[in-house]
Amino acid sequence: MLWTKASRYTELVATANTLYETTPLTPDGFSPDDAIDEQITRYCRAIDTGDWDLLDSIFTSDAVLDYTSSGGTRGPFPEMKAWLASVLPNFAVRQHLVTNREITIDGDTATSRSSLLNPMGMRRADGGLDLFITGATYHDRWTRTADGWRMTERRLDEHWRDVRAQR
C-alpha cells in the first residue's frame, strides 16, 4: 500500500476513535488517568495554598507519606497532614511544578511517577527572600474508591537542591 498523508491521517483517527470508545470513564467523565492527573494537581494546590483539608480528598486515611529524602519525615497520612500544616507555613514561597507524569493503571490500583521542580523561600527580617529550588521525583500508589482515585502511598525522592540566599 502506498503511504500518503491522507491514509496516515485516516489510520491515526481510527486508532484514536478506538481508544476513545474503549477507555472507561469515571462517573465525572474523566478517564482514570485523567482523574489521577487531576488529583496530583489538587495535591500541589493544597500544599501551595495551605488548604490542608483538601488533602483528605486526595489520600486514603491509611496512606503513608515519605519525605525523608528532603529532610522531612515519614508516617501515616493523619500525622503527615499535621506535620505539613505545621512546617510549610514557615515558607513564604511554595510552588510545586509537577511534570512528566507517568500513570499506569491496573484494574482498581495504579502507580504514578512525576517530576517535581519546587522553588521555596523564607522571608528575612529585612523583607527579602532566601530562595531555594529542588528537583525531585514523586512515586505514588493509588486505589480506586467509591469516591474516586485516592493515593495510598507517596514517596519523594529529592535529587538536587540549589540554595540561593540573598544576603
**Residue 1 pLDDT:** 45
- What is the distance between the alpha carbons of residues 132 and 121, in angstroms, rounded to a whole number? 6
End-to-end CA distance of the chain: 68
Q: Which three cell numbers stand for residue 1?
A: 500500500
Query: Would you kindly state where each structural domain of the chain is located, as residue ranges?
Result: 28-164
Q: Is the pTM of this model over 0.85?
A: no
State residue 31 phi and psi, 5-degree precision. -75, 160
- What is the distance between the alpha carbons of residues 44 and 63, in angstroms, rounded to a whole number? 17
Q: Which fold has domain 28-164?
A: Nuclear Transport Factor 2; Chain: A, (3.10.450)
**One pLDDT digit (tens) per residue for the chain, 167 residues:** 454 555 555 665 566 555 555 555 555 555 768 999 999 999 999 999 999 999 999 999 999 999 999 999 999 999 999 999 999 999 999 999 999 999 999 999 999 999 999 999 999 999 998 999 999 999 999 999 999 999 999 999 999 999 975 55
Closest to 132 in 3D by CA, of 159, 166, 155: 166
**Residue 31 pLDDT:** 72
- What is the distance between the alpha carbons of residues 104 and 102, in angstroms, rounded to a whole number? 7
